[in-house]
Amino acid sequence: MTRKLNSLPEPPGNKGLPFIGETIGFFTDPDFNSKRLAKYGKVYQTNIFGNPTVTMVGAEANTFLFRNENKYVVSQWPKSTSILLGDLSLAVRNGSFHTSRRKLLYQAFQPRALASYIPTMENITDEYLQRWQQMETLTWYPELRNYTFDIASNLLVGTDGGSQTPLGELFETWCGGLFTIPINLPWTKFGKALRCRKQLLKYIEAIIIKRQQEDSLREDALGLLIDAKDEEGNSLTLAELKDQVLLLLFAGHETLTSAIASFCLLTAQHPEVMQRLRQEQQELNLSSPFTLENLKQMTYLEQVLKEVMRLIPPVGGGFRKVIEPFAFNGYRIPKDWSIQYQIAQTHKDREIYSEYDRFLPDRFAPDREEDKKSFSYIPFGGGLRECLGKEFARLEMRIFAAKLLQNYQWELLPNQSLDLIAVPTPHPRDGLKVKFRCV
């Protein structure tokens, strides 16, 4: 078996320059992956973030990787990301520690917890919608960032108006360093982000200590974490609590901001879709307070949100590390190399998606369901590391979209660049400038 594996070639591709490899191209060229896919096929090598890396594209590759977690591969984030997330973060840990923390954190995302989040999500959404109506014209992306951050900080750590506290600003600089070459100098993005991490942790520590001193325990994610005991009956240390909170705040808002902004953009660009969405809201005639059940009735909205995340997935792909060499598609994938699975390219597979580059929500209608093949639609990843906050994200998107469609109109303003910047998550270059008013 080993001899057979050794006789196989490495995947085709280019290692790039010494040390930095092809990292600069990876960041600056929006077609980095599609060009290599066209040249080499669905498995190719490159060198990014200082690691030899194999990119594996498509439903078969995703199935292989998600089913062989902990056998051939384990999760691995780029060095900059894992340093900034912290050693104890669930996202950077593997094996039994990961399993135990995932189980624990999942309690904050189970249906009963989700249902209890609806009133807060609705209130914060109403406040922002009224604010935007008063503004009349606005640059939406930074507003949406504040909106999702306020929801995340309220529901996950019980802090009101998080975007207006130092947390909001620190977070922005910290996020700027997540996917960079990890050189810690005062002027590098990574260096600045590392300093922000220290300040963020101090801030989070103060929130935790205040909460630990409260008499009654609140049932948000932080409450669960403070109260939690691991398998040996030990509480989580303060250092770990801080890393897990930082992860949740990050994961709970950057990605969602991108998804919501893309929904606003694509519906503004497709009046026929907007029209059908409004019609569905009128026919259902549901108003606040929403429930998990009545939100499920918005089936066309669901198709549209699904198509938004197919066409502009908030997370473009994920990273793994090879722990045991393996063969895939006739190539040898060596131990210790990095693997990148590709969400964005999987969603553009012409064999799966007809007219893959068009925004066509009907591709997910019950009689078509173009994503039937396993792991051909993976905005939330898959397998053991599938997004923990998937249902939280879907809930917030539906509440936001339903309220927006029921009561408001939005139009794109002229003279703005709608080109998408990919890092940290896709968003229009000029921040999505719109005219906003009541229906």
Residues in contact with ligand HEM by CB under 6 A are: 75, 90-91, 102, 247-248, 251-252, 255-256, 259, 314-315, 318, 379-381, 385, 387-389, 392-393
Closest approach, Cβ 18 to ligand HEM, in A, equals: 28
| Least gap, CB of 369 to ligand HEM (angstroms) | 20
| Closer residue to ligand HEM (CB): 89 or 192 | 89
Cβ 56 to ligand HEM, closest distance in Å?
13
> What CA–CA distance (Å, rounded) separates 175 from 197?
10
CB of 278 to ligand HEM, least distance (A): 23
Shortest distance, position 302 Cβ to ligand HEM, whole Å: 14
- DSSP state letter for 179: T
Nearer Cβ to ligand HEM (191/383)? 383
Contact (Cβ atoms closer than 8 angstroms) between residue 140 and residue 264: yes
3-state secondary structure 324-350: CCEEECCEEECCCCEEEEEHHHHCCCC
How many H helices and E strands in the chain? 18, 12
Q: What's the token pair of residue 385? A: 């590391």
Phi/psi at 268 (5° precision): -65, -35
CB atoms within 10 A of CB 264: 22
- Judged by beta carbon, residue 205 or residue 391, the one nearer ligand HEM is 391
Q: How far is the CB of 314 from ligand HEM (least distance, A)?
A: 4
Q: Which is nearer to ligand HEM, 20 or 387 (CB)?
A: 387
Q: How far is the CB of 169 from ligand HEM (least distance, A)?
A: 20
CB of 91 to ligand HEM, least distance (A): 5
CB closer to ligand HEM, 242 vs 385: 385
Dihedrals φ, ψ of 284, to 5°? Answer: -75, -35
Length of the chain, in residues: 439
CB of 113 to ligand HEM, least distance (A): 11
Q: Which is nearer to ligand HEM, 180 or 255 (CB)?
A: 255
147 to 126, 151, 261, 413, 431: CA distances (angstroms): 10, 6, 11, 21, 15
Residue type, 169: E
Here the tokens at position 336 are: 């210790």
Closer Cβ to ligand HEM, 114 or 360, answer by number: 114
Look up residue 88 and give its two tokens. 């104890």
Peptide linkage before 325 cis (omega within 30 of 0): no
Written as six digits, the tokens of 419 are 């080109």
Which of 138, 248 has the CB closer to ligand HEM? 248
Q: Least separation, in Å, of the C-beta of 149 and ligand HEM?
A: 11
The CA–CA distances, whole Å, from 231 to 88, 96, 167, 190, 247 equal 16, 10, 32, 36, 22
Q: Choose between 194 and 251: whose C-beta lies nearer to ligand HEM.
A: 251
* Cβ nearer to ligand HEM, comparing 380 with 436: 380
Which helix (H) or strand (E) segment holds residue 36: the answer is helix 32-40
Q: Could you tell me the two tokens for 65?
A: 């990787």
Task: Answer whether the bond into residue 424 is a cis peptide, omega within 30°.
Answer: yes
Closest residue by beta carbon to ligand HEM: 389
∠ Cα 363 367 370 (to 5°): 40
